[in-house]
Structure 1
Amino acid sequence: MKSNMFARLGWGFAAAAALLAGCGGGGQEGLAQTSSAVLQVDGWVQPVSADQGVSNVKSRSMLASPPVPSLVSLGALAEAKATPAGGGIGPRQVGVARDVAATRAAPQTLQQFRWTPTSSGGQVAAISFSAEGAYGLRLGVVARKLPPGAVMRVYSQADAASVFQIAGHEVMQRIERNAQAGDTSIDGQTWWSPDLGSHEVTLELELPAGVAPDAVDISVPRVSHIFENLSIPTEGELTAKINESASCQLDASCYEAYANQRNAVARMIFTSGGGTYVCTGTLLNDAQSSGTPYFLTANHCISTQTEASSLQTDWFYRAPTCNSRTLSSATTKRLNGAVLLYATDVTDTALLKLNDTPPAGAFFAGWDASTQATGASVVGLHHPRGDLLKVSIGALNSLTSCTATSGTQFQCVGSSGNFYRVNWSQGTTEGGSSGSALFKGGTQVIGTLYGGSASCTSISSPEFYGRFDVAYNTALKNWLSSGQPQTPSSGVRVPVYRFFNGTTGAHFFTTSAAERDNTIVNFPVFNYEGIAFYAQAALQSGNSAVYRFYGLTGGAHFYTINPAERDSVQRSNPDFQLEGIAWYAMPSAAGGGIPVYRFYRLSKGVHFYTTSPSERDFIQASMPDYRYEGVAYYAWANQ
């Protein structure tokens, strides 16, 4: 068959498959392999009762008054912004990197901070960044050293009542995850703040008592200047902002047959190399309907852990009723990135696990891991140009083989291969649609959008989707197919939530969401720092119980996996009350876990625990009051 060339607007693809977690090395992928039982999985709806975790968005009324910030102002964007071509396929660029001389390194950044004391004995300071003409700013915070108990906050001075708050511990966890995936560059060391939809963003840093500012090593050498309006539009902006994609696009809210599937689709905003981009992704169910937030998109959207760490998602970003030209009030954001599980250019597939719980009502889409017959009716649900959710309707024409020929071009030939050729009868796709799922008959996922040449003036021109069955049989089955539903008796891992007491310097851990929420509401001295690690909910072969004690006098908790230490504490320290088994972990590294390091604070008589090597090293180098006691036990980095 004669080959054709098609534009793919966006990045070039990686030359090789990258298997990043869970199932060993990568390697060249071929066509779908015959499996003993081809799975078809139906979808299900996220219930209202699902634990939504702890929101990073706080009310300033619950926090101390904001410090007076120093000001760092950037002028208007000097260079011509990248203008995405209409009708193209690929990550739609919506932001560019800008250097910030005033905070390019840690010494300059610390000079900008004006420290003031806090009521808990610590210090707090802030820097306000602004860029003329920006619709939003993402701050590229390079974090090399953040002390235990540090807290970062991000907000706009125009809306200081709403604050995004993240523990320094969580920031360092994400940077370490980037490094573990192989990125130790400046990009890998960068935490990107969420886009707040404002030309001004304030970065606030609070340090706990006993920590000097010169122990901190952070800088903001870059910001990502958002030149397109990605925020939820105001009433006056609706006409200009809503439905700015091509005129032949079909409003997904007009098609009730796909009511569930459209709730599986999210608009993606992510940053790479300082540029910010828009794509589309889809929430996937797994064989046991576990509720794990697996998220499918294109490799040419997100192919590295560093990019995945920067991800924020917009859910229910659509019109509330058919062709209403308004935005649904149900629209909601998730801001905490993802873990990249698998990425390959062979089918242009990327599978992520979101760090946030999807909102109630989100749909975990079903999928079909069998090869589809030509002529099958198919539906695409996507966010062209980052617009409200649209639908495209057509048929699967044939199989084909696609290869990248340059950064913006690819070639598809033949009638066999790892991609589907699709022709639309209604609607089309555009830049920003990339990574969106192809649904057979509008029900189950069978592919992800790679590229094509369809447009409003050429709707029937072909589009190409990476085959889900090929990606599934090669790797995705390692996550999406796993026998029976997990129960506590089958060894399910549960998150262990971490709190830091800034007064005592001690940690409190719990696996109970109810206890977590009660602590946040009623014990403000404890600062919530997110998920520390994962542990087993029940005893399994090779695991042991971790016991939890409470110090009646000091009000601090103590944890041990050692039965002899447990017995010694009960005999010799009546002030410590045994509260029972907290969770189950491994006494040695034989099970492939991560070490939990233990420190003892001499002046307070309390313990401190961390799984972070950088946090361990920081304490040993900068905080002599903490005596290192070694590895307490071994837990897990993920579920």
Structure 2
Amino acid sequence: MTGISIRRWAGALTAVAAMLAGCGGGSSDAASTAKTQPITSVESRVQPASAVQDVASVKSRSANAAPKAAVVALGELSLSKVDTSSSIGPRLVGQARDITATKSAAETQTQWQWKDTAVGGKVAAISFRSEGAYGVRLGVLVKQLPGSAILRVYTQATPGSVYQISGQEILQLIERNQAAGDKTDQGRTWWTPDTGEGEATLEVELPPGVAVSTLDVAVPQLSHIFVNLSLPTEQEYQAQVATTKVNESDPCNLDATCYSENATERNAVARMSFVSGGLSYLCTGTLLNDGNSSGKPYFLSANHCISTQTAASTLQTNWFYRSPTCNSGTLQSTSIRKTGGAQLLYASSSTDMSFMLLNDTPPVGAVYAGWDANTVISGTSVTGLHHPSGDLLKISFGKVNSQTSCQSSAGNQFQCNGATGNFYQVTWSQGTTEGGSSGSALFQNGRVVGTLYGGAAVCTNRALSDYYGRFDVAYNAALKNWLAATPTSGSRTAVYRFFNAKTGAHFYTANAAERDFVIRTYPDFSYENVAFYAYPDSSTGKDPVFRFFNATSGAHFYSGSTAERDFVIANFPQFKYETISWYAQSAAGNGASPMFRFYNAKSGAHFYTINAAERDFVIQTYKDFQYEGAMYYAWTAAQ
């Protein structure tokens, strides 16, 4: 690592200035010392095969199903003005590019070439080409979008394999960004997954009854990935595929696959990619267990990587991103990418920690790492697991030399000095760290005790140090609110939403097995992902939500009122009472949000949404839908 300067301070203390590409300040600052309270440690747990997994977002279809796409072509990007020299902090891998042809909704409308769908809706697509890119992420600015719209992302080379997301899921993302205080266009932007090529096609399908003029969507910017982030699998390597890069990190980095004694914790580490201001970055993060081993996907990284909800919403994670055999230099075929982003729970510049709850369920076999909230004493042996330069998982061995205090200084530098503070000074006997390693966990005896801030460590000089935010300080300041063992009072469960374009009815279920059965059995039902969260049983003292089925209209009806349930049973014989679907609240409080209900007199179907923007869109757009108000209260997040 370059750019290190040594300074003398009063009292003969040495300070190290190191490059740090930061993304902005945290949402709150941790106390400089741990508060007095019992400090605990937690063991790791493995994600079992029985864990409910997300519905796959990548779908297969006939290539002929893709509509003809308009083409927006950007020329070659000049990288002469892009600063990629920093070897510390998030690794910059993508440059923002403005797109004139689709910079506004009005200009984007001129690009769509709408055609009718089989169910009476509309569909159109635009292909964006950024010459010389190894990947593209589109910044889709959404100001008005029906929740039952379907957006697809794919390449023209493989139109039969598409990433698919519902409008309501994008509206949830925007609502989360805005609730965190981002009212700007960046807060209203959905960043598509990286296509891994220099072209990305955005397809939009509108449900029946929605005029294309109501769509207020633009693509004013894309992120041009100028670094080849792909790695050959073992099979591709043996077939001599030479178009992908292998092991760009420094040569003294150690392949983590070679060290079986760290086999458990290495499955807790994920390579991160995210977008901030149109720029794409790489960092490293770690899945954490909590005191109840609840399976909630808490995720720890660095504040200088992700410090805002808007950036957290763009997060992609690569799991098991390592070699299949020691020093093979290839990517194992079991590596899995997740693209659902995260909810930012806490971010602090005091310890440079970012603490999130992933929106995706971690894959089977992923490890929720254990942690230790005791202070690490000087001389203790420690291990680092990280993705330097975005490379395959590497491991470093060293020791904690001391505590120290670190502060940001001029430009993109920071300074550390003293023998006390919120950070650990670490030197390595084997391995090192680089840009892209930021946010990675420091392990002691298999438990997390810190996260990488930055430093000067380099292969050619073992005496230079890295600096890790102290987990014990962050735990006592805030993380204990989520990670400490607490009396269990029930966990919220996801409620899944479907839309039947033929009947215009929505269906909701909190049962993952029923969700999967509907996906397999009823092709007319389009899965729209998680709609909201509620409780699965009465142990929390919440109120039941009842479910009916109307065989005449083919629609389901849900009510949070016992009196309404009894009235429907007594007066509407066509409504068959089925079950209690989930448990919610009849009044506001406990962080719950109102569930809005509509009734369509023509179809006899009811519609429910927890999203205020979608409520307003329905009121403005669907004149047949009569707004009935808030029926009960549920939650927009699992936590």
Classify the TM-score, shorter chain: over 0.9
Structure-to-structure mapping, 1:613-624, within 5 angstroms: 613-624=612-623
- Picking from 328, 346, 352, the partner of 1:324 is 328
Task: Give the aligned partner of residue 49 of structure 1.
Answer: 50
Checking the alignment, whether the CA contact within 8 Å between 1:155 and 1:203 is kept in structure 2 is yes
Task: Give the aligned partner of residue 6 of structure 1.
Answer: 17
Checking the alignment, whether the CA contact within 8 Å between 1:84 and 1:431 is kept in structure 2 is no
Structure-to-structure mapping, 1:242-257, within 5 angstroms: 242-257=246-261
1:530 is paired with a residue whose SS is: strand
Query: Does structure 1 residue 533 correspond to structure 2 residue 532?
Result: yes
Checking the alignment, whether the CA contact within 8 Å between 1:533 and 1:611 is kept in structure 2 is yes
Q: Distance in 1 between matches of 2:530 and 2:23?
A: 35
Task: Give the aligned partner of residue 636 of structure 2.
Answer: 637
Q: Between 229-238 and 587-596, report the one with greater CA deviation.
A: 229-238
The CA deviation at 1:459 is 2.4
Query: Does structure 1 residue 343 correspond to structure 2 residue 344?
Result: no
Counterpart of 2:432 in structure 1: which amino acid? T
Task: Give the aligned partner of residue 386 of structure 1.
Answer: 390
2:110 is paired with a residue whose SS is: helix
Q: Deviations over 1:300-349 (max 9, x none)?
A: 00000000000001111111111112111111100111111100000000
Counterpart of 2:294 in structure 1: which amino acid? S
Query: Does structure 1 residue 461 correspond to structure 2 residue 460?
Result: no
The CA deviation at 1:542 is 5.7
Query: Does structure 1 residue 193 correspond to structure 2 residue 192?
Result: yes
Q: Distance in 1 between matches of 2:191 and 2:29?
A: 31
- Picking from 370, 375, 378, the partner of 2:379 is 375
Checking the alignment, whether the CA contact within 8 Å between 1:127 and 1:202 is kept in structure 2 is yes
**TM-score, scaled relative to structure 2:** 0.95
Q: Deviations over 1:103-142 (max 9, x none)?
A: 0000111111111111111110000000110001000000
Checking the alignment, whether the CA contact within 8 Å between 1:377 and 1:394 is kept in structure 2 is yes
2:516 is paired with a residue whose SS is: helix
The CA deviation at 1:2 is 2.0
Query: Does structure 1 residue 596 correspond to structure 2 residue 595?
Result: yes
Q: Distance in 2 between matches of 1:232 and 1:113?
A: 35
Identity %: 55
Residues 65 and 372 (structure 1 numbering): CA distance in 2 closer, same or farther, change over 3 Å? same
Q: Distance in 1 between matches of 2:625 and 2:19?
A: 54
Residues 12 and 103 (structure 1 numbering): CA distance in 2 closer, same or farther, change over 3 Å? closer
The CA deviation at 1:53 is 1.4
- Picking from 402, 421, 425, the partner of 2:406 is 402
Q: Distance in 1 between matches of 2:52 and 2:228?
A: 31
Q: Deviations over 1:468-515 (max 9, x none)?
A: 00000110011111325x4xxx33211111111222222211111000
The CA deviation at 1:239 is 8.6
Query: Does structure 1 residue 85 correspond to structure 2 residue 96?
Result: no
Query: Does structure 1 residue 279 correspond to structure 2 residue 283?
Result: yes
Checking the alignment, whether the CA contact within 8 Å between 1:196 and 1:231 is kept in structure 2 is no
The CA deviation at 1:12 is 5.6
Task: Give the aligned partner of residue 501 of structure 2.
Answer: 502
Q: Deviations over 1:204-259 (max 9, x none)?
A: 00000011100110000000000001234353456961111101111111111101
Q: Between 77-86 and 90-99, report the one with greater CA deviation.
A: 77-86
Query: Does structure 1 residue 439 correspond to structure 2 residue 450?
Result: no
Q: Deviations over 1:121-172 (max 9, x none)?
A: 1110000000110001000000111113100000011122211000011011
Residues 541 and 154 (structure 1 numbering): CA distance in 2 closer, same or farther, change over 3 Å? closer
Residues 192 and 122 (structure 1 numbering): CA distance in 2 closer, same or farther, change over 3 Å? same
Gaps of 5+ in 1: 19-25
Q: Distance in 2 between matches of 1:505 and 1:460?
A: 67
Q: Distance in 2 between matches of 1:64 and 1:537?
A: 42
Checking the alignment, whether the CA contact within 8 Å between 1:147 and 1:618 is kept in structure 2 is yes
Checking the alignment, whether the CA contact within 8 Å between 2:490 and 2:540 is kept in structure 1 is no
The CA deviation at 1:355 is 0.7
Checking the alignment, whether the CA contact within 8 Å between 2:30 and 2:477 is kept in structure 1 is no
Task: Give the aligned partner of residue 75 of structure 2.
Answer: 75
- Picking from 30, 33, 42, the partner of 1:31 is 33
Checking the alignment, whether the CA contact within 8 Å between 2:231 and 2:330 is kept in structure 1 is no
Checking the alignment, whether the CA contact within 8 Å between 1:449 and 1:466 is kept in structure 2 is yes
Gaps of 5+ in 2: 1-11
Q: Distance in 2 between matches of 1:318 and 1:588?
A: 49
The CA deviation at 1:34 is 2.5
User: How many residues of Structure 1 are paired with residues of Structure 2 in the alignment?
Assistant: 622
Task: Give the aligned partner of residue 550 of structure 1.
Answer: 549
Q: Distance in 1 between matches of 2:115 and 2:230?
A: 33
Query: Does structure 1 residue 300 correspond to structure 2 residue 331?
Result: no
Task: Give the aligned partner of residue 625 of structure 1.
Answer: 624
Q: Distance in 2 between matches of 1:621 and 1:407?
A: 48
The CA deviation at 1:74 is 0.5
Task: Give the aligned partner of residue 9 of structure 2.
Answer: none
Q: Distance in 2 between matches of 1:148 and 1:138?
A: 22
The CA deviation at 1:517 is 0.4
Q: Distance in 2 between matches of 1:217 and 1:549?
A: 35
Task: Give the aligned partner of residue 474 of structure 2.
Answer: 471
Counterpart of 1:76 in structure 2: which amino acid? E
Task: Give the aligned partner of residue 565 of structure 1.
Answer: 564
Task: Give the aligned partner of residue 22 of structure 1.
Answer: none
Q: Distance in 2 between matches of 1:323 and 1:591?
A: 51
Checking the alignment, whether the CA contact within 8 Å between 2:94 and 2:227 is kept in structure 1 is yes
1:6 is paired with a residue whose SS is: strand
Query: Does structure 1 residue 574 correspond to structure 2 residue 573?
Result: yes
Residues 405 and 357 (structure 1 numbering): CA distance in 2 closer, same or farther, change over 3 Å? same
Q: Between 301-310 and 399-408, report the one with greater CA deviation.
A: 399-408
Q: Distance in 1 between matches of 2:116 and 2:68?
A: 12
Residues 357 and 81 (structure 1 numbering): CA distance in 2 closer, same or farther, change over 3 Å? farther
